[in-house]
Structure 1
Amino acid sequence: MADFWSSEKIVAADGTVSVISAEDRPCTLLENVIAISTLFTWFGFVYVGPWLTLWVIITALLGSKAAITTLIITIGLSFVPPGNVWWTYRSLGLWDIWRKYFRVRLLTPPKDKFLKPDGHYLLAEFPHGVYPMGSWLGLPICGRPGTGIPKNLRGGIASVLFALPVIKHNYAWAGCMPAEYKRMLKHLREPKASLSVIPEGIKGIFLAQHPEREEVYLTRRKGFVKLAIQGGADIVPVYHLGQTQLLTFWGTEEISRKWRASVGLFWGAYGLPLPRKHQIITLVGPPIPVQQSDTPTQEQIDKLHTQFTAALRKLFDDNKHLLGPVWAKKQLIII
């Protein structure tokens, strides 16, 4: 990982100085092959998983011994606890290859507001997109020198993912936990604990149906603010430039909200379940101080939410030009 303080400095219109990591070298031919094959395997499994499961169930009912064995193993795995963070898994070289493939760069706050390695934060990340690749690739670099991202950071994700065998273990090993309010609050109240959340939820997936626009669902999302106040964690705005360009989604929002899972079709490069090769720049803003309270008033929540909204918009406007002239003209639409 690059030495961030020796990297390029970004000066905003108001004179604020941030630092962006140096762009890594391009992937070699072998690294490109590894990235494409593993990404296609991961997203392809998500794409065909429901149909494959249905086929296994039908063939098992028809007496196929192989299908019956597969079904028994799958059901058995669903009862295996997901476990906790597996540091060896989080340090696999595959994550670095994926970051090189998407040319991931990290912009950090000014040094006097740099996140503390043992700090107590709630990172509120936008946009969700069809798949939050920037958030996913950020977990393995937690605690690395120069990133400013706390090592003890955990990610809150859709609870439904922890009902799926194998998939739940993958997320748990990377440091994720179900995005259930009580569980997240319990984690935040632990000493020096930090949490990452994507407040948009399913709504953010459907906003990604229009990749020509940058839209985020935030106006009515205030639960994360209350969570931060009750947990006594400073709120950090995070925006992943380019994340909306990786995949396209089509589906029914009403059914998805009812089932609490995205129901629809997605595609990327060449119409396949493979993310497009588009650069991602993760913007990490200065933390917003939070005063802990077990019973915050609506006025306190609204005031902090307004501060956060303004900070997220500024973070986007100050740095959108980093992805080129087309992005420099984009406006952030907050719904």
Structure 2
Amino acid sequence: MRVAERDQACLRSLIVRKVSARISARFPTTLHDSPPAKPSPMQIRFAPLYVPLRRRLQTAAVLQWIFSFLGLAQCCLAAFILLSFSTWWMAALLYAGWLWLDWDTPNRGGRRCQWLRRWGVWEHFRDYFPIKLVKTVDLDPGKNYIFGFHPHGVLATGAFCNFCTESTGFTGLFPGLKSHLLMLPFWFRVPFFRDYIMCGGLVSSSKSSLSYLLSRPQGGNVAVIAVGAAPEALDARPGALTLQLQKRKGFIKLALRHGAQLVPVFSFGENELFDQIQNPTGSPLRTLQDRLQSIMGIALPLINGRGVFQYSFGLMPHRKAILTVVGKPIQVATCPSPESEDIDALHKVYLEHLSELFEQHKHEYGLQEHHHLTFT
């Protein structure tokens, strides 16, 4: 009997082992050693309930900037129209008269306000990412400069923070110089909004505006141009290192005409702030975007960032560091009537200096040796 019981016990043990082996083969992990489940693409990642006050202030600062960029102009235009048809119509009429007298100011250096540029909210804006401005050499305040800003990114965030505010210390780094960020002339036709953006140092991107800045006899003006402009914004996505520069030579011509020094500026991290729906050249979406851009003059990238209270979607930029490096100036001799050969030669030198600037500082931002700029 004992032998039979022992055989039955062995048989039961063998059956249990085989069943366990089959279960393990079908379900290889257990409750204790299974890896953490990845969040579903549709799952919303909410922000923690308890967030430090400084981070809330940073988010609020960026939120008001996003509103200023995307919605303030429309609100100002609507306010002017409502004012015109209200009992305060006389105020609208007086402003219209002022607008007519002040119409050319955006083409003549603008009207900056140091109080607004030093507004404390911009420090919270800077720390949200954060953003840092790096100087490589001193610049002579007795000369005029063109800063070629690259890449454009979706909203040119680094250009605004570094050259329209004092939060990153532009005046301290480059004493005697005034920065002017060039913006599409369309925005300076919107009542009230034009006055607000001029306070930060924004001016029209028209040729007459740029010529006015570069022809200042005593020097000291810096014209900041996002050379890739609106079309480059349609390619602004994380990891993108392609710049639309091969056919962009208008700023080169003006630099030669006025003898302004060319300074390449590269803003590491500018393309990391937003994700963008894939829109390769030739696709229906890209064709539509290009058509709208040619009509309206502004790009309409389909972007996705994060929200105020969640991290999964929205129009708020991601918290990605931006490192804006100002390179060495390229000496330019005055040539009142530059030939195409002169423009092409200086353009080639500019591309070389920009590539050199990128290669020298890419490791500081964590890029690898195989990362290089591509010009189209």
Scaled to the shorter chain, the TM-score interval is: 0.7 to 0.9
Residues 152, 241 of structure 1: CA spacing in aligned structure 2 closer, same or farther, 3 A cutoff?
same
How much has 1:315 moved relative to structure 2?
0.9
Aligned to 1:37: 60
Over the matched positions of the two proteins, sequence identity in percent amounts to: 22
How much has 1:328 moved relative to structure 2?
5.1
Aligned positions of 1:57-206 closer than 5 A: 80=99, 81=102, 84-109=111-136, 113-139=137-163, 140-141=165-166, 144-145=171-172, 147-148=173-174, 150-190=176-216, 191-192=218-219, 193-206=221-234
CA deviation string 1:46-76 (max 9, x = no partner):
445698799x79xx9xxxx899659978998
| Counterparts of 1:97 and 1:123, CA distance in 2 | 25
Q: 1:266 aligns with which of 281, 294, 303?
A: 303
Is residue 331 from structure 1 mapped to residue 372 from structure 2 by the alignment?
yes
Aligned positions of 1:306-325 closer than 5 A: 306-325=348-367
Asked whether the 8 Å contact 2:154–2:301 carries over to 1, the reply is: no
CA deviation string 1:155-193 (max 9, x = no partner):
211112212334322320011111001221022101312
Q: Give the letter aligned to residue 115 of structure 1.
A: L
| Counterparts of 1:52 and 1:106, CA distance in 2 | 32
Taking only aligned residues, the RMSD between alpha carbons, in angstroms, comes to 3.1
How much has 1:138 moved relative to structure 2?
1.1
Asked whether the 8 Å contact 1:235–1:289 carries over to 2, the reply is: yes
Aligned to 2:242: 215
Residues 143, 40 of structure 1: CA spacing in aligned structure 2 closer, same or farther, 3 A cutoff?
closer
Residues 181, 70 of structure 1: CA spacing in aligned structure 2 closer, same or farther, 3 A cutoff?
farther
Asked whether the 8 Å contact 1:143–1:150 carries over to 2, the reply is: no
Aligned to 2:20: none
Q: 1:287 aligns with which of 329, 332, 337?
A: 329
Aligned to 1:22: none
Residues 186, 321 of structure 1: CA spacing in aligned structure 2 closer, same or farther, 3 A cutoff?
same
Q: Give the letter aligned to residue 204 of structure 2.
A: P
Asked whether the 8 Å contact 1:239–1:315 carries over to 2, the reply is: yes
| Counterparts of 1:268 and 1:84, CA distance in 2 | 33
SS in 1 for 2:223: strand
| Counterparts of 1:189 and 1:67, CA distance in 2 | 39
Asked whether the 8 Å contact 2:157–2:270 carries over to 1, the reply is: yes
Aligned to 1:25: none
Residues 307, 99 of structure 1: CA spacing in aligned structure 2 closer, same or farther, 3 A cutoff?
same
CA deviation string 1:265-319 (max 9, x = no partner):
4331232111111100001110000001111111111111000001111111111
How much has 1:36 moved relative to structure 2?
0.9
Q: 2:263 aligns with which of 236, 246, 251?
A: 236
| Counterparts of 1:52 and 1:154, CA distance in 2 | 25
SS in 2 for 1:207: coil
SS in 2 for 1:286: coil
Q: Give the letter aligned to residue 244 of structure 1.
A: N
Asked whether the 8 Å contact 1:44–1:274 carries over to 2, the reply is: no
Asked whether the 8 Å contact 2:131–2:322 carries over to 1, the reply is: yes
CA deviation string 1:194-224 (max 9, x = no partner):
211111111111121x423211100000001
| Structure ranking higher in strand proportion | 1
**Bigger Rg, structure 1 or 2:** 2
Greater shift in the superposed pair: 224-233 or 256-265: 256-265
Greater shift in the superposed pair: 266-275 or 302-311: 266-275
Residues 46, 187 of structure 1: CA spacing in aligned structure 2 closer, same or farther, 3 A cutoff?
closer
SS in 1 for 2:171: coil
SS in 2 for 1:282: strand
How much has 1:329 moved relative to structure 2?
4.2
Asked whether the 8 Å contact 1:130–1:249 carries over to 2, the reply is: no
Asked whether the 8 Å contact 2:188–2:204 carries over to 1, the reply is: yes
TM-score normalised by structure 2 residue count: 0.70
Greater shift in the superposed pair: 269-278 or 230-239: 269-278
Residues 290, 48 of structure 1: CA spacing in aligned structure 2 closer, same or farther, 3 A cutoff?
closer
Q: Give the letter aligned to residue 187 of structure 2.
A: L
SS in 2 for 1:144: helix
Gaps of 5+ in 1: 1-27
| Counterparts of 1:287 and 1:187, CA distance in 2 | 17
